[in-house]
C-alpha cells in the first residue's frame, strides 16, 4: 500500500514550531510542564519516525529491510508511549490522591505495559505487522492499536469526571474538544488507512493543550528571574488541594522604596535580581517566587529546610549587596507561616502576611516573625472588628455617649465629651481604643467623625440649646489624624453645625499631639480658620507622648487635657507626682486651663483641687452615658451635687 503522509509532514512542522517556542519561552518547571515536555518530545519523534518509515516502505526496493523494520518497530513503541504520556499529563492535572490515585495509575499503566509487550514481541509473532518479502503487512492484531488509543481517551474522560469538582471548566472543555478531535482522527485513519493521520491528531491535542494551559501566562518574573506571583498562585492552588506539610518564608525587603529613591530604579532592579539569584541558588528553582512589591516567598519542603534557609538568609542580609560600586544594605524581614497549621486558604495566608508585614515595619531590628496561635487569634479578632465597623457604618448603628466634665471652680458640670460607642451583635461591646485605630487605618474614621459630630449637633439642638439651665457650655469632640490631614477640615465641619444652627463656640475639638507633630502647618491653618469662627481646640492625652510645652506656644490651644494614664501614675509613683505637678504649673503659667482625666474617687479629686486644677473628667464625676441618661444625670447632679453621681 502507498501511504499519503502529507498531513504528517505538516504536523511535523507544527511540532517543531511548538517545541521551539516551548524551549525559547522559559517555562516555570512544574510537574505539569515536565509532563508536557515529555509528551511533546515523544509525539514529535513519533511523527518523524512515522514519516521516515513511510518513505522507507514506499522505497522498499532500494531501502534495506532492516532499516524499515527498525523504524516501523520504533513507530509502534512511540505510539504506545505517546498515549501513555498524554495520560500521565492528565494525571498530573487531576492530581488524584489515595486509593483513587492507585486505581487510576494501574488503569493507565497496565494497558501501556500490555501494548508495549505486544509491540516488543511483534517481530516474532507478527501481531501488529509483519514483513513479507520486504513489504510491510498489517498483522492480525493491527486494529488493537486503534482500540488502545481510544481506551486512553476514554480514561481521560473518566479522570476528568472523577475530579470534576476541583478542575477548572476551561480544562474540562479542552479535554472534551481534543478527545473529540482525536477520536475523529482515529476514525478517519481507520476509514482511510492509506492517509496517515496519527500524528495529526496528536499535534492537534498538543497545540490545544499548549495554547490553553501551558502557555497561558509566562510564569517567570522578568526583574528577579524567579517565578512570579501567577506561578506562586498555581503552586499554592496545588498545595491547598493536596495538603502536604510545608513552611512558607516571605522575605520582605523593608523600606525598599528608599533604595529606588536614593540610588535609582535601575539599582533597585539589580538588587531584586541579585536577591532572586541568591534565593534560587540557596533554595532551588521550584521553591522561590517573587511577590508583588519587594517581597519573595520561599516554599520550604520541611521545617529543617526552613530553619536552614532562615539562618542563611539572615546571614546574607547582614552583609551588603554590591550595586554599581555601592555597598547597599538591604533590610529584610523573614515572615514565617507553616502549612497546614497556620493557614488553610490563600486569602488567609495573604492576610496574615500583611499583618506580619505591619509588625515587621515597626520593629526595625527584629528579623524573623513567626505566626503562632495567639497571633492568628489577634489577627482574626482584628478582621472581625473591621467587619463590625463596616457593618455599623452601613447600618448607622454607632452611638454617641457623653461623659461630664466638672469645673472645680464653679462646682458644677460645665461641658461634656462625646465618645463613640459600638455594639456588635456577635462581638458585643467593642472599645473605641480597639476600633478607632483600625478605622484610622482604613479611612472609616472620616465617616465615624462626621457621624459623631452630626449626632452631637442634633443632641445640642434638641436638648442643650433649649435648656440653658443645664449649664452645658461646650461639647468636646475627638478628631482623628485622618480627619485633620484633609485639607478641608473646616468645610467638612461647618455645614453640619449650620444644619443644626449650632454656634461654633459650643464645640471644642480634641486633637492629640501626634497630629500637631505630623502636620504642624496644616494643623495651624485648621486651627486658625476654625478659631476665627469661634471653635476651640484642646490638646488631648497631654503627657502621654513626648509632649513638651513648645506645642502649647506654637498652636493656639485653649485647653490641655492630661492623659488618664498620667493621672493613674500620679497616685502611684513619686516621680510621676513631681512631673505632673510641674506640668500643671507650667501650663497654668501659660494661661491655659487644665482638664485632668481619669479621676475615680474623692481622694483623687481632692488632690487635684489642691493642685488648683480647673476641670476634672472621670468616673468620679460621671461615666460616659447615652445622651438622655446624661441629661437626667446632670439635672440630678446639679439639684444635689453632694449626693449624685460621685463614685467612690
Q: Pick the stretch among 26-34, 239-247, 263-271, 598-606 that binds ligand C2E (CB under 6 A).
A: 598-606
Whichever of 371 and 478 has its CB closer to ligand C2E, that residue is 478
> Cα 30–31–37 angle (5° rounding)?
90
Pairing of strands 559-562, 594-597: parallel
The site map against ligand C2E for 530-559 (x = CB under 6 A) is ----------xx------------------
Selected range binding Ca ion among 128-136, 292-300, 473-481, 637-645, rule: CB under 5 A: 473-481
User: Smallest distance, Å, CB 232 to ligand C2E?
Assistant: 39
DSSP code of 5? Answer: -
Shortest Cβ 602–Ca ion spacing (Å): 22
For the bound state, the minimum distance from the C-beta of residue 511 to ligand C2E, rounded and expressed in Å, comes to: 9
Contact 240, 233 (CB under 8 A): no
Count of residues engaged in binding ligand C2E, rule: CB under 6 A: 24
Question: Please, are residues 69 and 123 in contact by the beta-carbon 8 Å criterion?
Answer: yes
Span from 23-31, 119-127, 203-211, 428-436 in contact with ligand C2E (CB under 6 A): 428-436
- What is the full DSSP assignment across 469-537? GG---EEEEE--HHHHTSTTHHHHHHHHHHHTT--GGGEEEEEEHHHHHHSHHHHHHHHHHHHHTT-EE
- Assess 540 for contact with Ca ion (CB under 5 A): yes
Q: What sign results for the dihedral spanned by CA atoms 438, 442, 447, 450? A: positive
Task: Give the whole-angstrom CA distance, residue 254 versus residue 258.
Answer: 9
8, 455, 510, 513: which one contacts Ca ion (CB under 5 A)? Answer: 510
Q: Which of 228, 371, 403, 508 binds ligand C2E (CB under 6 A)?
A: 403
Q: Among 628, 629, 646, which residue's Cα sits nearest to residue 637? A: 646
Answer for the pair 540, 510: CB distance below 8 angstroms, yes or no: yes
Nearer to Ca ion, 298 or 477 (CB): 477
> Of the ranges 12-20, 44-52, 522-530, 618-626, which one interacts with ligand C2E (CB under 6 A)?
618-626
Cβ neighbours of residue 200 under 8 Å, at least 6 residues apart? 7, 8, 10, 11, 185
- For residues 283 and 296, the answer to whether their CB atoms sit within 8 Å is no
Query: In the chain, what is the straight-line distance between the N-terminal and C-terminal CA atoms, in Å?
Result: 112
Binding region for Ca ion (CB under 5 A) out of 50-58, 227-235, 477-485, 615-623: 477-485
By CB under 6 A, is residue 201 in contact with ligand C2E? no
Q: With contacts defined by CB under 6 A, name the span among 31-39, 204-212, 253-261, 430-438 that binds ligand C2E.
A: 430-438
* DSSP 8-state secondary structure symbol assigned to residue 210: I
Single residue of 11, 234, 478, 547 touching ligand C2E by CB under 6 A: 478
What residue 108 binds from Ca ion, ligand C2E, none (CB within 5 to 8 A, per partner kind)? none
Cα separation, 68 vs 77, in Å, equals: 14
CA torsion through residues 572, 574, 577, 579, sign? negative
Instruction: Look at the block and give the residue holding cell 483623687.
Output: 604
Positions 95 through 114 that interact with ligand C2E (CB under 6 A): none
Residue 431 Cβ, how far from ligand C2E at the closest point, in Å? Answer: 5
Establish if 541 lies at the interface with Ca ion (CB under 5 A): yes
Helix 65-94 to helix 31-58 angle (10° resolution) is 160
Residue found under cell 495566608: 349
Instruction: CB nearer to Ca ion: give 305 or 540.
Output: 540
Binding mask 436-455 for ligand C2E (x = CB under 6 A): x--------x---x--x---
Q: CB-wise, 431 or 582, nearer to ligand C2E?
A: 431
Site of grid cell 497571633 = 375
User: In angstroms, what is the minimal distance from the CB of 477 to ligand C2E?
Assistant: 7
> Which partner in ligand C2E, Ca ion, none is near 605 (CB below 5 to 8 A by kind)?
none
Contact region with Ca ion (CB under 5 A), list: 28-36, 229-237, 474-482, 633-641 = 474-482
- Classify strands 474-478 and 428-430 as parallel, antiparallel or unpaired: unpaired
Q: Smallest distance from the beta carbon of 566 to ligand C2E, in angstroms?
A: 11
Q: Which of 59, 302, 431, 548 binds ligand C2E (CB under 6 A)?
A: 431
Which span sits near Ca ion by CB under 5 A: 392-400, 501-509, 537-545, 620-628?
Answer: 537-545
Nearer to ligand C2E, 119 or 539 (CB): 539
Shortest Å distance, C-beta 597 to Ca ion: 5
Q: Considering the rule CB under 6 A, would residue 624 count as an interface residue with ligand C2E?
A: yes
Coil, strand or helix at 553: helix
432 binds ligand C2E (CB under 6 A): yes
- SS (HEC) of 215-272: CCCCCECCCCCCECHHHHHHHHHHHHHCCCCEEEEEEEEECHHHHHHHHCHHHHHHHH
- 513 interacts with Ca ion by CB under 5 A: no
Residue 246, C-alpha cell as written in the block:
510545608
Confirm or reject binding of residue 619 to ligand C2E (CB under 6 A): yes
CB of 571 to Ca ion, least distance (A): 17
DSSP string computed for 100-115: HHHHHHHHHHHHHHHH
How many chain residues interact with Ca ion (CB under 5 A)? 4
Q: Is 32 in the site for ligand C2E (CB under 6 A)?
A: no
Nearer of residues 204 and 536 to ligand C2E, judged by Cβ: 536
Q: What are phi and psi of 144, to 5 degrees?
A: -60, -25
Site for Ca ion in 350-409 (CB under 5 A): none
Q: Which stretch binds Ca ion (CB under 5 A): 266-274, 509-517, 524-532, 618-626?
A: 509-517
Per DSSP, the residues of 612-626 read: T-SEEESGGG---EE
Q: Binding residues for ligand C2E, per CB under 6 A?
A: 403, 419-420, 431-433, 436, 445, 449, 452, 478-480, 540-541, 564, 597-600, 617-619, 624
Q: Binding residues for Ca ion, per CB under 5 A?
A: 478, 510, 540-541
Amino acid at each position: 500500500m502507498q501511504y499519503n503522509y502529507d498531513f504528517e509532514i505538516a504536523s511535523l512542522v507544527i511540532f517543531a514550531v511548538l517545541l521551539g517556542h516551548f524551549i525559547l519561552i522559559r517555562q516555570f518547571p512544574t510537574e505539569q510542564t515536565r509532563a508536557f515536555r515529555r509528551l511533546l518530545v515523544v509525539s514529535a519523534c513519533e511523527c518523524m519516525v512515522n514519516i521516515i518509515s513511510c518513505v522507507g516502505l514506499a522505497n522498499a526496493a532500494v531501502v534495506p529491510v532492516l532499516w524499515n523494520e527498525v523504524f516501523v518497530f520504533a513507530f509502534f513503541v512511540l505510539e504506545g508511549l505517546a498515549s501513555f504520556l498524554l495520560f500521565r499529563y492528565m494525571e498530573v492535572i487531576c492530581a488524584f490522591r489515595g486509593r483513587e490515585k492507585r486505581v487510576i495509575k494501574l488503569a493507565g499503566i497496565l494497558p501501556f505495559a500490555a501494548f508495549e509487550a505486544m509491540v516488543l514481541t511483534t517481530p516474532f509473532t507478527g501481531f501488529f505487522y509483519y514483513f513479507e518479502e520486504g513489504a510491510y503487512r498489517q498483522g492480525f492484531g493491527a486494529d488493537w492499536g486503534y482500540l488502545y488509543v481510544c481506551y486512553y481517551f476514554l480514561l481521560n474522560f473518566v479522570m476528568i469526571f472523577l475530579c470534576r469538582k476541583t478542575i477548572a471548566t476551561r480544562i474540562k472543555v479542552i479535554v472534551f474538544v481534543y478527545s473529540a478531535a482525536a477520536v475523529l482522527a482515529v476514525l478517519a485513519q481507520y476509514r482511510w488507512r492509506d492517509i496517515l493521520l496519527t500524528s495529526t491528531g496528536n499535534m492537534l491535542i498538543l497545540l490545544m493543550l499548549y495554547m490553553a494551559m501551558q502557555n497561558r501566562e509566562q510564569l517567570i518574573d522578568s526583574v528577579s528571574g524567579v517565578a512570579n506571583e501567577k506561578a506562586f498562585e498555581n503552586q499554592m492552588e496545588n498545595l491547598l488541594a493536596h495538603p502536604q506539610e510545608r513552611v512558607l518564608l516571605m522575605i520582605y525587603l523593608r523600606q525598599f522604596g528608599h533604595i529606588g529613591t536614593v540610588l535609582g530604579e535601575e539599582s533597585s532592579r539589580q538588587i531584586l535580581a541579585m536577591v532572586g539569584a541568591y534565593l534560587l541558588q540557596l533554595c532551588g528553582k521550584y521553591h522561590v517566587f517573587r511577590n508583588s512589591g519587594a517581597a519573595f516567598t520561599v516554599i520550604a519542603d520541611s521545617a529543617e529546610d526552613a530553619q536552614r534557609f532562615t539562618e542563611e538568609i539572615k546571614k546574607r542580609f547582614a552583609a551588603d549587596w554590591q550595586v554599581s560600586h555601592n555597598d547597599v544594605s538591604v533590610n529584610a524581614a523573614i515572615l514565617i507561616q507553616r502549612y497546614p497549621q497556620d493557614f488553610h486558604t490563600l486569602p488567609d495566608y495573604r492576610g496574615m502576611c500583611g499583618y506580619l508585614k505591619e509588625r515587621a515595619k515597626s520593629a526595625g531590628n527584629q528579623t524573623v516573625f513567626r505566626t503562632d496561635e495567639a497571633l492568628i487569634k489577634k489577627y482574626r479578632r482584628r478582621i472581625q472588628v473591621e467587619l463590625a465597623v463596616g457593618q455599623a457604618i452601613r447600618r448607622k448603628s454607632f452611638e454617641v455617649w457623653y461623659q461630664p466634665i466638672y469645673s472645680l471652680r464653679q462646682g458644677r458640670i460645665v461641658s461634656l465629651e462625646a465618645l463613640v460607642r459600638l455594639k456588635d451583635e456577635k462581638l458585643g461591646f467593642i472599645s473605641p481604643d480597639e476600633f478607632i485605630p483600625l478605622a484610622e487605618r482604613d479611612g472609616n474614621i472620616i465617616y465615624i467623625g462626621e457621624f459623631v459630630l452630626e449626632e452631637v449637633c442634633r443632641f445640642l439642638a434638641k436638648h442643650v440649646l433649649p435648656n440653658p439651665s443645664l449649664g452645658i457650655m461646650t461639647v468636646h469632640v475627638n478628631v482623628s489624624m485622618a480627619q485633620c490631614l484633609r485639607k478641608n477640615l473646616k468645610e467638612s465641619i461647618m455645614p453640619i453645625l449650620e444644619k443644626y444652627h449650632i454656634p461654633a463656640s459650643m464645640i471644642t475639638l480634641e486633637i492629640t499631639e501626634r497630629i500637631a507633630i505630623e502636620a504642624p502647618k496644616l494643623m495651624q491653618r485648621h486651627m486658625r480658620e476654625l478659631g476665627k469662627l469661634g471653635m476651640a481646640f484642646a490638646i488631648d492625652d497631654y503627657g502621654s507622648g513626648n509632649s513638651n510645652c513648645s506645642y502649647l506656644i506654637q498652636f493656639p490651644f485653649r485647653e490641655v487635657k492630661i492623659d488618664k494614664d498620667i493621672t493613674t501614675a500620679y497616685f502611684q509613683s513619686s516621680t510621676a507626682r513631681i512631673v505632673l505637678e510641674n506640668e500643671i504649673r507650667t501650663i497654668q503659667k501659660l494661661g491655659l486651663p487644665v482638664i485632668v482625666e481619669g479621676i475615680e474617687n474623692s481622694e483623687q479629686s481632692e488632690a487635684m483641687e489642691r493642685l488648683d486644677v480647673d476641670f476634672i473628667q472621670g468616673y468620679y464625676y460621671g461615666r460616659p452615658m447615652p445622651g438622655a441618661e446624661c441629661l437626667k444625670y446632670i439635672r440630678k447632679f446639679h439639684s444635689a451635687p453632694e449626693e449624685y453621681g460621685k463614685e467612690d
